[in-house]
Structure 1
Amino acid sequence: MSNSEPLHILDATVLSDWIDYNGHMNVGYYNVAFDKATDALFDHLGIGVDYVRETNKSFFTLETHVHYMGEVLEGAPLRYDVQLLDHDAKRIHAFFRMYHATEGFLSATSEQMCLHVDLGTRRSAEMPAEVQQAVARLAETQKDLAWPEQAGLGMRIRRKS
């Protein structure tokens, strides 16, 4: 049975170091912030820093697409949700949403493709069966979620006809 909800993965706050000369969160720090959410997902799946230390295997991000939708200011509380879009024996395709936690608006999204890597060989490697099962369990709980509007989009200038 599916509960069909994105997984609430992290709460955070916009730090003063993340603010640029426009007075809002700098674009580069969105990637930092989404990286923290990715770490939280990996912790949830049992593939965080302890997994890396114990197995000498980790995940590398192959590609990421960030959409900026609503600015956040210093001190803003943030809420991150994640939806697994797809997975196979070596890859996890995830979609993160960053919300202003008290005002409720969607601030940004980050779509990521992560690859399981053997750090000894620096080459891709299949995830162990128990990791594949953990990923599959999370995917099963989200199987009925709609594909996110921002996922899978290419970048281009849209012109009026």
Structure 2
Amino acid sequence: MTNAAPLELHRDTVRPEWIDYNGHMNVAYYLLAFDHATDAVFDHFGIGKSYVEAESRSLFVVEAHLTYAREVTAGDPLRFASRVLAVDDKRLHLFHEMFHAEDGFLAATAEFMLVHVDLADRRSAPFPAAVRAALDATAAAHAALPRPPQAGRAVGARRPSA
């Protein structure tokens, strides 16, 4: 299940209802599209909806950061490249890139910190050993890739120099 290249598990199309009054995809729908890409990663590792239903465990986003590089508009095809940046007993650090599927340009990125949660008591819980091993192997493979420049960025205005 390891992959030295980013995981390409999700594609989508910008829907007309995702367009705002500026004529491009609204910020809320970027997050929705990245959430769908996250679901595809979960399914890939066997921790998607069927896992939640069978094991009463899930992953919750505890932090998210989106960056925008270029506009996309209604009808644009999208492809997502996903990386496992890090994993520990209970956390998954996931990074996605959204590309225009035909023109190839980077449209946006999303970085998520997720916590594995036992739904019975709504508290963090360790990943099952097999899931942790698969995530570790993928994180190790993805560590060989150049780190995305958007990963780990903070929001802030630059102070004017004196």
Q: How does the TM-score come out when normalised to structure 2?
A: 0.95
What 5-or-longer segments of structure 2 have no aligned partner?
none
Whether the aligned pair in 1 keeps the contact of 2:12 and 2:79 (CA below 8 Å) is yes
What 5-or-longer segments of structure 1 have no aligned partner?
none
Q: What is the letter of the counterpart of residue 25 of structure 1?
A: M
Q: 1:13-42 CA deviation, whole Å, 9 max, x = no partner?
A: 001111111111000110000000000000
> Corresponding residue for 2:37?
37
Measured in 2, the distance between the counterparts of 1:5 and 1:127 equals 23
Measured in 1, the distance between the counterparts of 2:18 and 2:3 equals 35
Q: Say how many residue pairs are matched.
A: 160
Measured in 2, the distance between the counterparts of 1:29 and 1:63 equals 17
Q: 1:88-118 CA deviation, whole Å, 9 max, x = no partner?
A: 0100001100000001100000000000000
> Corresponding residue for 2:95?
95
Deviation, 1:3, is 5.9
Measured in 1, the distance between the counterparts of 2:56 and 2:130 equals 16
Q: How does 1:34-73 map to 2 (within 5 A)?
A: 34-73=34-73
Whether the aligned pair in 1 keeps the contact of 2:4 and 2:138 (CA below 8 Å) is no
Q: 1:31-82 CA deviation, whole Å, 9 max, x = no partner?
A: 0000000000000011000000000000000000000110000010000001
Deviation, 1:154, is 1.0
Deviation, 1:6, is 1.2
> Corresponding residue for 1:75?
75
SS at match of 2:121: coil
Fraction of identical pairs, as percent: 50
Deviation, 1:84, is 1.0
Deviation, 1:130, is 1.0
Q: What is the letter of the counterpart of residue 11 of structure 1?
A: R
Whether the aligned pair in 1 keeps the contact of 2:89 and 2:127 (CA below 8 Å) is yes
Deviation, 1:137, is 2.1
> Corresponding residue for 1:146?
146
Identify the range of structure 1 (135-144 vs 26-35) with the bigger mean alpha-carbon deviation. 135-144
> Corresponding residue for 2:129?
129
Identify the range of structure 1 (15-24 vs 32-41) with the bigger mean alpha-carbon deviation. 15-24
